[in-house]
A and B are shown apart, each in its own frame.
Chain A
Amino acid sequence: MAASGATNDEMMDIGGAELDNNKNEKMFTLKKWNAVAMWSWDVECDTCAICRVQVMDACLRCQGDGNRQAGGKQPECVVVWGECNHSFHHCCMSQWTQQNKRCPLCQKEWSIQRMGK
Chain B
Amino acid sequence: MSLRPKHVNFDETWGTLRRTIEGVVTLSKVPRVEWNDRFTDVYTLCVAHPEPYTNQLYSETQTFLRKHVQALRTEIEKYESNSSLLKVYYDMWVKYSQGVEYLNKLYSYLNQQHVKKSKLSEADITYGGVTDMPGHMIEIGELGLEIWRQDMLEKIQDTLIELVLEAIRSDRRGDTAVSTTIVNGVVHSFVAVEDPKHRIPGDPHTHLTVCHPFSASPTFYEKAFEAPFLQDTGRYYQQEASKLITTCSVSEYMEKVIQKLNEEDMRARRYLHASSYGKLSSECHRRLVSDHLSALHSECRIMVENDRRQDLTNTYGLLKPLASGLNVLADTLEAHIKKEGLEAVGNLKPETAHMDFVESIILLYKKYKDIVNTVFKSDQMFISSLDKACTAVINFRQCTKNPCRSPELLAKYCDALLKKSTKGYSETEVDEKLSQSIIIFRYIDDKDVFQKFYSRNLARRLINHLSHSMDAEEAMINRLKQACGYEFTNKLHRMFTDVSVSSDLNNKFNDYLTKEGIKLPISFSIMVLQAGAWPLQQNPSPFAIPQILESSVQKFETFYGRQFNGRKLTWLHHLSSCDVKLSYTKKPYFIIMQTFQIAVLTSFETCDEMVYRDIREATRLTDDQFVRHLQSLIECKLLECDDKEFTQDSIIKLNKGYSNKRAKFRISGAVQKETPQEVEQTHVSVEEDRKIFIQAAIVRIMKSRKVIKHNVLIQEVLQLSNGRFSPTISVIKKCIETLIERAYLERTPNSADEYSYVA
Residues of A within 8 A of B (CB): 1-12, 14-17, 19, 25-42, 46, 50-54, 56-57, 60-61, 63-66, 68, 70-73, 79, 81, 114-117
Contacts and interface: CB of A to CB of B under 8 A. Distances in A.
Contacts of B570: 37-40
Contacts of A117: 564-567
Nearest to A113: B566
Contacts of B567: 39-42, 116-117
B632 A39 contact: no
B614 interface: no
B595 A66 contact: no
Contact of A71 (B420, B533, B573, B576): B533
B719 to A, nearest CB: 14
B664 A6 contact: no
B631 A5 contact: yes
Interface in B616-666: 627-629, 631-636, 660, 662, 664-666
Contact of A3 (B530, B666, B672): B672
B740 interface: no
B636 to A, nearest CB: 4
Given A17-B581, A28-B602, A116-B566, A4 B668 contact: yes
Contacts of A71: 490-491, 493-494, 497, 533
Given A3-B673, A35-B525, A115-B566, 16 more contacts: A1-B628, A7-B668, A9-B665, A15-B523, A17-B581, A27-B582, A27-B583, A28-B604, A29-B581, A29-B583, A33-B576, A33-B577, A35-B527, A40-B531, A41-B567, A60-B695
B463 A115 contact: no
B634 A5 contact: yes
B477 to A, nearest CB: 11
Contact of B576 (A27, A36, A63, A65): A36
Interface stretch (B33-41, B102-110, B272-280, B544-552): B544-552
What is the interface of chain B mostly: helix, strand, loop, or mixed? mixed
Given A3-B671, A19-B588, A25-B583, A39 B524 contact: no
Contact of B566 (A14, A52, A81): A81
B584 A27 contact: yes
Given A27-B583, A36-B576, A64 B696 contact: yes
Contacts of B465: 34
A12 B666 contact: yes
A116 B565 CA distance: 5
A28 B605 contact: yes
Contacts of A115: 565-566
Nearest to A116: B566
B112 interface: no
Nearest to B702: A64
B487 interface: yes
A81 B582 CA distance: 49
A85 B676 CA distance: 40
A97 B219 CA distance: 85
Given A30-B546, A37-B570, A117-B566, A64 B636 contact: no
Contact of A114 (B487, B536, B566): B566
Contact of B664 (A4, A11, A29, A65): A11
B601 A33 contact: no
B554 interface: no
A3 B568 contact: no
Contact of B523 (A33, A51, A70): A33
B421 interface: yes
A33 B525 contact: yes
Nearest to A117: B565
B696 A60 contact: yes
29 contacts: A1-B673, A3-B672, A5-B632, A7-B662, A8-B668, A10-B666, A26-B583, A27-B584, A27-B605, A28-B583, A28-B601, A28-B602, A28-B604, A30-B546, A32-B578, A35-B526, A36-B571, A36-B576, A38-B529, A38-B531, A40-B568, A46-B531, A57-B532, A65-B703, A70-B497, A71-B493, A81-B566, A116-B565, A117-B564
Contacts of B744: 60
Contacts of A11: 664
Contacts of A116: 564-567
B756 to A, nearest CB: 16
A14 B664 contact: yes
B295 to A, nearest CB: 56
A1 B575 contact: no
Nearest to B527: A36
Contacts, number: 260
A81 to B, nearest CB: 7
A81 B487 CA distance: 28
Contacts of A64: 696-700, 703
A15 B635 CA distance: 26
Nearest to B739: A60
A11 B663 CA distance: 10
B325 interface: no
Contact of A6 (B560, B588, B633, B636): B636
A79 B565 CA distance: 10
B524 to A, nearest CB: 5
Contacts of B672: 3
A16 B666 contact: no
A6 B526 CA distance: 26
B274 to A, nearest CB: 59
Given A8-B666, A10-B421, A72 B490 contact: yes
Nearest to A19: B588
B425 interface: no
B729 interface: no
Contacts of A72: 486-487, 490-491, 493-494
B578 A30 contact: yes
Contacts of B532: 40, 54, 56-57
- Most chain A CB within 10 A, of B576, B598, B696, is at B696
B579 A32 contact: yes
A59 to B, nearest CB: 9
Contacts of B669: 3, 5
A56 B420 CA distance: 31
Given A68-B486, A71-B490, A72-B487, A30 B666 contact: no
B605 A3 contact: no
Contacts of A61: 699, 703
A31 B665 contact: no
B530 A39 contact: yes
B522 A34 contact: no
Contact of A12 (B491, B573, B592, B692): B592
- The 4 A-B residue pairs whose C-beta atoms are closest, nearest first, are A5-B635, A56-B532, A3-B670, A64-B699
Contact of B692 (A6, A8, A63, A66): A63
Contacts of A2: 627-628, 631-632, 635
Contacts of A51: 742
A77 to B, nearest CB: 12
B576 A30 contact: no
A111 B740 CA distance: 27
Contacts of B470: none
Given A5-B634, A40-B567, A42-B568, A28 B581 contact: yes
A12 B664 contact: yes
Most buried by B among A17, A36, A39: A36
A58 B579 CA distance: 37
A14 B590 contact: yes
Nearest to A25: B583
Contacts of A34: 465, 525-527, 576-579
Contact of A38 (B569, B590, B627): B569
A33 B522 contact: yes
Greatest chain A CB density within 10 A among B465, B553, B634, B668 is at B668
Contact of B595 (A33, A46, A60, A114): A33
Nearest to B490: A72
A30 B664 contact: no
A62 to B, nearest CB: 9
